[in-house]
Amino acid sequence: MRFDLTDLRLFIHVAETCSITRGANQTHMSLASASARIRGMEAMLGLPLLERSPRGVKPTPAGQALLQHAQVMLQHYERMRGELGNFARGFKGHVRLLANTIAATEFLPETLARFLAARPNVDIELEERTSTEIVTAVSEGYADAGIIVDIGGHGDLQTFPFAVDRLVLITPRAHPRHVGWQEAPNEGAGHDLDPEECESSDTGRDACGSQMVGARGRGSAS
């Protein structure tokens, strides 16, 4: 089975317009050539890809499966062209960086601005995830590095301190913790937080700080 990109692009246009004529026009080829390509694809597979009627065409179940795969393949192809085009324009590195909400909104904007100003040929793809998801993604190679709260359980990943946010405790004056803070300020720092609090609450984020994680031996932009 050998389909080229023109075959796939033609089939997508035909399926989306429900017409071989309109699909041929969008692919910039003659109707005869488009019809021959579609027949050739069906002959190669040994089954029909389109249901033909006087009102137009629509994909058969096999054609629908081909359509879905063709769309994914062309999306990957366009993404590949874009990334390679970046290198042609002088880009020398691409870093996939994941970060939790606190890091992405409070710490990274200024840090990334300085980094990119000093390294204009590096492209950074930033995506927001939870710390648990970040550890998994970096471990499995879906990301180059990540910023997480310091919750442990990093496996074989290397970690580096990235940032610490200062803790501020606020309570109503009549709250028991307010009274305790007045009598023994250092006790407030002993409040234990679970990892979920570190991800979602202001108090948790301040108490936990952030770590940068990366796979051992994986290169980074410089």
CB 193 within 8 A of CB 208: yes
What is the C-alpha end-to-end distance of the chain, expressed in Å?
A: 44
pLDDT tens sequence across 100-116: 888 888 888 888 888 88
- Whole-prediction pTM: 0.44
CB 197 within 8 A of CB 209: no
- Measured CA to CA, the distance from residue 62 to residue 182 in angstroms comes to 73
Count of CB atoms situated within 10 Å of the CB of 172: 8
Fold of 5-88: Arc Repressor Mutant, subunit A (1.10.10)
Residues of the chain with pLDDT under 50: 187-198, 200-207, 217-222
Do the domains spanning 5-88 and 96-214 agree at the CATH topology level?
no
CB 57 within 8 A of CB 14: yes
pLDDT, residue 97, reads: 92
pLDDT, residue 213, reads: 60
Question: What is the DSSP annotation of 52-70?
Answer: EETTEEEE-HHHHHHHHHH
Task: List residues bridging with 125 in a β-sheet.
Answer: 96
Domain locations in the chain? 5-88, 96-214
Fold of 96-214: D-Maltodextrin-Binding Protein; domain 2 (3.40.190)
pLDDT, residue 203, reads: 39
pLDDT, residue 78, reads: 87
pLDDT, residue 221, reads: 38
Positive or negative, the CA dihedral 214, 218, 221, 222 is positive
- AA letter at 160: F
